[in-house]
Amino acid sequence: MNHSILKPGTGTNRYYAKKHGEPPTLLEKLGLVVREDEYRPSCSCPVEVPRPASSPALTPGSEETFATRSPQPQAAYVPGPSLSETLQALTPEEMEKALQPGHGWTLEDSIQQTLAFHHCQGSNGETTISCAFDESNQLGNSGFSKTGWAAAMTVGGVVTAAAGILLTGPLVGLGLAVAGLAVTFSAAPLLKSSRRDQNDSSILSDMATRLHQHAFHTTDERHTGHGDYPARFSKA
C-alpha cells in the first residue's frame, strides 16, 4: 500500500514529495534521476493578491467627486404677490384709465362703465371689483325674478280677461275682464324694472372684468354680446 504523504493539490513533483518527507525511490537511490533543480518550480514568486482599485487622488479644483460632492445651496423661494395684493395695488386713477375705449370697447361702453366705477369706487382694486361683482349678481337675480313675475302676471291677466268676456253674466264678466286687463298692464313696469336691473348688472360685470384683466395684464378683446348696452347705467 502506498503511504505517500503527498496531500491533494501538491501534484506528483518529486521536489515537493521530498520536501514533505517522502522516502527516496529506488531510482533516486541508484542515482538514476535528473537533478533536483529540474523539479523546482520555474517561478518562486509569491502569488499576487488582487488589490482593490484605489481612488484617484484629488487634484486642486477637483475636491468634489460623485461621492464627496456637497449639496449645492438652493435659491430661496420668493413668493410673488398674492391675488389680494395685486388687486389692492390698483389705484383709483389707474382703474379709471383702464376703462378708457379700446380692445373693442366703444366710447359709449367706456362712459357707462365709468359711471358704474364711480358707483362702486373703493380705495383700491380689490374693494371696487368685489363691490361690482357682488352688486352685478344681485341685480342679475333681481332682474330674473322680476321677469318671471311679469310673465306670470301677464298670462294670468289675459286668462282672467278672457274668462270674463266669455261669461254670460254681464256684470261678473265685465268685472273679470277689467281685473285681468289691469293685472296685465301692471306687469309692464315690473318688466321694465327687470330690464333695467339686467342692463346695470351687465355694465357692472363688464367694468369689474376689465379692471381684473388690467391688474393681471390679460386684457382681451371684447366678448361677443357685451357692450352696446340698451340703456344708460341707472344708478349713477
**For position 84, what pLDDT does the model report?**
80
> Mean pLDDT, consecutive 10-residue segments, the chain of 236 residues?
52 63 69 53 54 57 55 63 83 94 90 96 92 95 82 66 62 60 66 90 94 86 72 88
Q: Where are the domains of the chain?
A: 9-42, 85-215
In the DSSP assignment, the letter for residue 38 is G
Cα separations (Å) of 150 from 107, 130, 143, 181, 219? Answer: 33, 30, 10, 13, 38
**For position 38, what pLDDT does the model report?**
47
**For position 178, what pLDDT does the model report?**
60
Q: Is the Cβ–Cβ distance between 165 and 172 less than 8 Å?
A: no
CA 235 to chain centroid, in Å, comes to: 38
**For position 82, what pLDDT does the model report?**
77
**For position 210, what pLDDT does the model report?**
93
